[in-house]
Structure 1
Amino acid sequence: MRERGRTRRLLGLGARTGGALMRTRMGGQADWRALGEALFEGLSELKGPAMKLAQIMSQWDDLLPPDLAEELSRLQRQAEPMPWEGIRRTLVEEYGDLDEVFYDIEQRPFASASMGQVHRATTLDGETLVLKVQYPGLADVLESDLAQVRRLMRLGRWLKVPQARLDALFEELSVSLRGELDYHAEAEALARYRRRYAHLDSLVIPEPLPEFSGPRVLAMRYEPGTPLRELEAGDDDLRQRVAKTLADWVTEELFTHGELHADPHAGNFAVNDRGQLVIYDLGAVIPVPEARLRAMLQLLEATLAKDPMAMDEAVLKLGGRQGQGAPLALYRESAEAVEPLFQPGEQDFGDVRVHRRLRELSPKVWAAMDRLQPPADTLLLSRTLNGHYWNLVRLGARLDMQARTRPLLAWARG
């Protein structure tokens, strides 16, 4: 009965979305703000795959109507928490008598996400930790939810999103959600990242606590911090130090270790009172093969050279071109749009000229998507890097990208 109820609600949200899209196709006006509010409320309560999809879509602010994207972006930072009673049942199933393990568990979550929420707790020894608790019953309905989400995603064709891109997005979503249910793998990732980046004094990775963890609860040492999004109007020197740490870390992830933290929304990053960047939630870590990195840098080098033929060759090598490829003029315009970020010296990631050019260019990119069909691994990598880019934008980063990319380009040619 519960599964059928979820299905009916998902279908209801899909019907409302479809109605709004139909009105726009018929030349009418859709109330995207009202639709966004309805989706926020419904998906916040249902959690799971549909909420995760909406979070992913909201990161592509050039894909959705602005009012809809703004409402869905709330799912990144203020999703409605699950009532304590359901979370408590899961904790009791994991620990037994909670009073024999914890002095206190805060009923109000520290953070809420699509697959679980985080509660601060105090052990009997007085240690403060956080418990990432999987939403009860989610594993049982995951595959059914994914089937309904696949149906909902067909509506994307009304936004002129190519089927190949929708299929790739669905595969990304499926792999990501199944992986996020594996708390043992996330604990291993936390331990691996702590060892790997111990030399970076400006970076903090929470310590997993196996003695308090289980299949549906991941315990970590509490690492407080100010969320990244709250730093946007803060001290400039602090923001620049954090931006440099973030850029250095992502570069080392990719080019030294061949991995990437693949859930880059701003809620997974904070800054503590010592000015260190705190990285939460390693439930999604993806491998990035060296061949993929070299192909990406080949595309970057061709882009910086404003060589459309070389850009097309690089896109083909990445596996993202079909048929005759995109118009050469589109390649030229793309190169001109990103050029300001790679001028000599420090460049401002908050430069609105870059954002404006990219937004103006996006309809042309979508129009060429029948010839530009990125495979699933390229789509996931692109979305992840895009998310890290926007975190640098939020910080108002000023970075010398030409100096940073020069040795990487030399490596790719070697």
Structure 2
Amino acid sequence: MRERGRTRRLMGLSARTGGAMLKTRLGGQADWRALGEALFEGLSELKGPAMKMAQMMSQWDDLLPPDLADELARLQRQADPMPWPRIHEALELQYGDIHTYFTEVEETPFASASMGQVHKAMTHEGEAVVLKVQYPGLADVLENDLKQLRRIMSLGRWFKVPQARLDALFEELAAGLRDELDYQAEANALARYRERYQSDPRLVIPEPLFALSGQHVLAMSYVSGTPLRELENAEDALRQRVAATLADWITQELFTFGELHADPHAGNFAADEQGRLIIYDFGAVIPVPEGRLNAMMQLLDATLAHDPMAMDEAMANMGGRQGQGAPLSLYCEAAECIAPLFEPGEQDLSDVRVHRRLRELSPKVWAAMDRLQPPADTLLLSRALNGHYWNLMRLKARLNMHERIQPLLAWARSNSH
């Protein structure tokens, strides 16, 4: 009965979303604020894949209607936690009598998300640990939720997105969500990253506690820090230090190790008292093939050169073009928006003028969807990069992007010959 009720709720939210999109497509004015409020209330309660997808969408707030983006963004920071009795149920499923392992488990979580929430606990040895607890029954409803998400994504056909492209995007999203339920893989990722960055004094990664972890619970050492979203009003020197570390780490991940942390939720990052960057969550780590990196850098190179024909060629090489007639004027406008971030010298990534221009450009991107498509195998990659960028923006980062990007562009040029 519970699963049928969940399905009805998701179908209702899907219908409401589709109605707003259809109204807009027909030239009407949708109430995006009301839709956003309904989605927040429904998805905050339901949790799971649908909430995860909405959180992803909220990070693309330069493409969404502002009122809808504002409401969905609340899912990143205000989602209601699951009641303690349900979490206790999941802990008992993992441990049996939890007092065999812990003297105390705090009933109030200090973090809650779409697929689970985090509780602090104390072992009998006096060690403070955190328990990432998967919501009870989530694995059982995952596939049914994904069916409903497929229906929602099918609305993209109204914006001239081909069905084959929608199917490919859905499969990538579904694979990512299934991976997030694999807590053993996340524990292994924690261990791998701790070893990888053990000599980097700017990074802190919690230790996975394999003896206390299992299918439904991931245990790790407790590392105290100030969440990234609370650093917005911190001292400038601290913000710039954390921002530089974050930017360096993302670059190293991509170009040295061919991987990327693909869940840039602001709650997954913090800073400790020494100004080191703490990375808490490794539920989504994706491989990034060298060929994909090379194609992305060639597109950026063409963009910074304000060369629309080269931009179109790069988009085609990435699988991001279809139909007749390259949207050359759109490429030119995109280059005008993006190039200022990479001019010589220090650039303020929180400059609202840049984001205003990108938001003004988004309706033109949607209008060109019959010719311009997101590459089908880069949904998680583009979402992750966009999310990391917005975290840098929240930190009011000032970075010399021109200097940072030059060796990467040179690498891409050498690979293109």
- Please tell me the TM-score bracket, short chain as reference: over 0.9
Q: How do 1:262-277 and structure 2 match up within 5 A? A: 262-277=262-277
Alignment partners' CA distance in 1, 2:317 and 2:161: 23
TM-score (norm 1): 0.96
Alignment partners' CA distance in 1, 2:61 and 2:378: 19
Q: Would you say 1:377 and 2:372 are equivalent positions?
A: no
**Residues 338 and 354, structure 2, Cα contact 8 Å, conserved in 1:** yes
Q: How do 1:164-179 and structure 2 match up within 5 A? A: 166-179=166-179
Deviation at 1:374, TM superposition (A): 2.6
TM-score (norm 2): 0.95
Deviation at 1:22, TM superposition (A): 4.6
Alignment partners' CA distance in 2, 1:195 and 1:342: 33
Q: Deviations over 1:317-345 (max 9, x none)?
A: 11211133532121111111111111111
Deviation at 1:169, TM superposition (A): 3.7
**Residues 327 and 371, structure 2, Cα contact 8 Å, conserved in 1:** no
Deviation at 1:35, TM superposition (A): 2.2
Q: Which runs of 5+ in 1 are unaligned?
A: none
Alignment partners' CA distance in 1, 2:171 and 2:412: 29
Alignment partners' CA distance in 1, 2:159 and 2:365: 13
Q: Would you say 1:408 and 2:405 are equivalent positions?
A: no
Distance 1:331 1:84, change over 3 A: same
Q: Please name the residue that 1:3 is paired with.
A: 3
Distance 1:355 1:212, change over 3 A: same
Alignment partners' CA distance in 1, 2:250 and 2:412: 17
Alignment partners' CA distance in 2, 1:149 and 1:202: 39
Q: Which runs of 5+ in 2 are unaligned?
A: none
Q: How do 1:7-406 and structure 2 match up within 5 A? A: 7-24=7-24, 28-158=28-158, 163=163, 166-324=166-324, 326-406=326-406
Alignment partners' CA distance in 2, 1:365 and 1:26: 18
Alignment partners' CA distance in 1, 2:265 and 2:39: 19
Alignment partners' CA distance in 1, 2:28 and 2:375: 35
Percent identity of equivalent pairs = 75
- Please tell me the residue identity of whatever aligns with 1:400: N
Alignment partners' CA distance in 2, 1:25 and 1:324: 22
Alignment partners' CA distance in 1, 2:25 and 2:331: 29
Q: Deviations over 1:52-81 (max 9, x none)?
A: 111111111133221111111111112111
Alignment partners' CA distance in 2, 1:107 and 1:376: 42
- Please tell me the residue identity of whatever aligns with 2:140: D
SS at 2:377 equivalent? helix
Distance 1:310 1:15, change over 3 A: closer
- Please tell me the residue identity of whatever aligns with 1:233: N
Structure 1 stretch displaced more, 22-31 or 120-129? 22-31
SS at 2:321 equivalent? coil
- Please tell me the residue identity of whatever aligns with 2:64: L
**Residues 326 and 371, structure 2, Cα contact 8 Å, conserved in 1:** yes
Q: Deviations over 1:342-374 (max 9, x none)?
A: 111111101122112211111112211221223
Deviation at 1:205, TM superposition (A): 1.0
- Please tell me the residue identity of whatever aligns with 2:200: L
Deviation at 1:92, TM superposition (A): 1.0
Q: Deviations over 1:268-308 (max 9, x none)?
A: 11111221111121111110111111111111111111111
Distance 1:169 1:73, change over 3 A: farther
Alignment partners' CA distance in 2, 1:70 and 1:207: 35
